[in-house]
């Protein structure tokens, strides 16, 4: 009695390839993140001189910097007078000028980059190039990407002997687009957004 062995067929699995990286938006968001963290550090230094930063609720501080500062400052300076004072009167008595903090907070909150608070610590935004990459959506797109890679190689080799008009070549293929910043052929972006 012979047992029949089942033969498993291995099917090729589609693996997306990077099609286009939006380097302009990536760099812009990266610069925004750096600017946001620099502003946050300037705010933190300004506040550290005037209040104990350990008493600050960081989630509230990130959400509304001025209000959280006022709350902590009033709590830490409640012994200045025997009566409860408004923040404005307390700041007048303690000779506190909050205008620099208001300017920094306005700059901080106008920057739309999000900061995360993990275990009471503010974390820098994570900007990954992968998030700004368009990927192929099918095997057909992968085949087109392979053609584009080969086309770039052939054009580079041909340019060693003669100048090649890449714009005219790109117009021959409906799925090819010339990226002017890099002077390379890429997949037409409209194909990747079906």
The pLDDT of residue 193 is: 44
CA angle 100, 103, 107 (to 5 degrees): 140
Domain ranges across the chain: 20-129, 135-192
Give the E-state strand segments of 61-115 in sequence order: none
Task: Give residue 192's pLDDT band: very low, low, confident or very high (50, 70, 90).
Answer: very low
Q: CA-CA distance, 79 to 74, in Å (whole number)?
A: 9
Residue 67, C-beta contacts closer than 8 angstroms, at least 6 positions apart = 60
* pLDDT tens string 93-151: 888 999 999 999 999 999 999 988 888 888 888 899 999 998 888 899 899 889 889 98
The pLDDT of residue 2 is: 59
* pLDDT tens string 39-79: 999 999 999 999 999 999 999 999 999 999 999 998 898 88
**40-59 b/e with 16+ CB inside 10 Å = b?**
beebeebbeebbeeeebebe
The pLDDT of residue 84 is: 80
Report whether pLDDT(8) > 70: no
Q: CA-CA distance, 61 to 46, in Å (whole number)?
A: 13
Cα–Cα nearest to 191, from 144, 152, 146, 158: 144
The pLDDT of residue 103 is: 95
Supply the pTM of this predicted model.
0.70
What residues are paired with 187 via a beta bridge? 176
Task: Give residue 179's pLDDT band: very low, low, confident or very high (50, 70, 90).
Answer: confident
Residue 162 CA: distances (Å) to CA of 82, 120, 149, 180, 181: 88, 62, 20, 20, 21
Q: CA-CA distance, 193 to 154, in Å (whole number)?
A: 28
Report whether pLDDT(18) > 90: no
If you average pLDDT over residues 27-40, what whole number do you get? 95
């Amino acid at each position: 009695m012979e047992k029949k062995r089942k033969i498993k067929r291995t099917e090729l699995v589609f693996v997306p390839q990077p099609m286009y990286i939006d380097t302009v938006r990536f760099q812009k968001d990266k610069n925004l993140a750096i600017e946001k963290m620099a502003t946050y550090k300037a705010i933190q230094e300004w506040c550290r001189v005037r209040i104990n930063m350990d008493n600050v609720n960081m989630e509230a501080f990130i959400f509304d910097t001025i209000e959280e500062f006022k709350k902590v400052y009033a709590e830490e300076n409640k012994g200045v007078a025997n009566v409860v004072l408004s923040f404005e009167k307390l700041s007048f008595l303690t000779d506190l000028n909050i205008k620099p903090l208001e300017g920094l907070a306005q700059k901080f909150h106008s920057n739309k980059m999000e900061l995360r608070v993990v275990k009471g610590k503010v974390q820098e935004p994570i900007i990954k190039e992968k998030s700004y990459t368009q990927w192929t959506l099918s095997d057909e797109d992968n085949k087109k990407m392979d053609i584009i890679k080969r086309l770039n190689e052939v054009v580079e080799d041909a340019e060693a002997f003669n100048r090649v008009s890449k714009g005219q070549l790109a117009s021959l293929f409906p799925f090819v687009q010339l990226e002017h910043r890099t002077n390379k052929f890429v997949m037409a972006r409209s194909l990747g957004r079906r």
